[in-house]
Amino acid sequence: MSFLGKKYKLATSENFDELMKALGVGLVTRKMGASVSPVVEVTKDGDEYIMKTTSTFKSSELKFKPGVEFDEETPDGRKVKTTITVDGDKMSQIQKGDKDTVIEREFTDSEMKAIMKVDDIVCTRIYKVQN
Ligand code: ACD
């Protein structure tokens, strides 16, 4: 779990606008969302994980136990039922709502790769460890 406590900052992003469109996100939020480079940090407290995503536009903090469904409000304001599982350095997040979304994250010592899927849209975002 060497990724715990590391800060990963967005470096590259593909198809994020298409993904947001598929989720019904409006133009202004899409433009703002596309313009920021969020920083993701995961920590652990007992058997609970805390995933903080911070940006100048929106930030979020998810507290979860692996495999236990919880209520999440997405950065664009949708209410979804979320389950996150952890397998070594991989995390799989499933958001159930009007549109189901899957976010697969893989952490290494130097980067984190997030693959987000909605309908037939695949968005890939790569984050680099911040020094
Ligand atoms: C990230 C971005 C996380 C994006 C999460 C869900 C995608 C769905 C909709 C995005 C809606 C609006 C975009 C607004 C802000 C983007 C930054 C969000 C930070 C919490 O993990 O890189």
92, two tokens: 């799989």
Report the chain's mean pLDDT, rounded to a whole number.
Answer: 97
Q: What topology does CATH give the domain 7-129?
A: Lipocalin (2.40.128)
47, two tokens: 């058997």
Q: Average pLDDT for residues 21-30, to the nearest whole number?
A: 97
Residue nearest to atom 11 of ligand 1 (CA): 76
Instruction: Give residue 117's pLDDT.
Output: 98
Residue nearest to atom 12 of ligand 1 (CA): 76
| Cα three-residue angle 72-21-71, rounded to 5 degrees | 5
Q: Which atom of ligand 1 is nearest to the CA of 38?
A: 22
> What residue spans of 6-97 are helical by DSSP H?
16-22, 27-35
Q: How far is the CA of 75 from the centre of ligand 1 (A)?
A: 6
User: How would you classify residue 93: left for phi > 0, otherwise alpha for psi between -120 and 50, otherwise beta?
Assistant: beta
Residue type at 12? T
- Out of 25, 94, 122, mutate this one to test ligand 1's pocket (max ligand atoms within 8 Å of CB): namely 25
125, two tokens: 């975002």
Is the distance from CB of 78 to CB of 98 less than 8 angstroms?
Answer: yes
Give me the residue label for tokens 């849209």. 121
pLDDT tens-digit readout, 74-119: 999 999 999 999 999 999 999 999 999 999 999 999 999 999 999 9
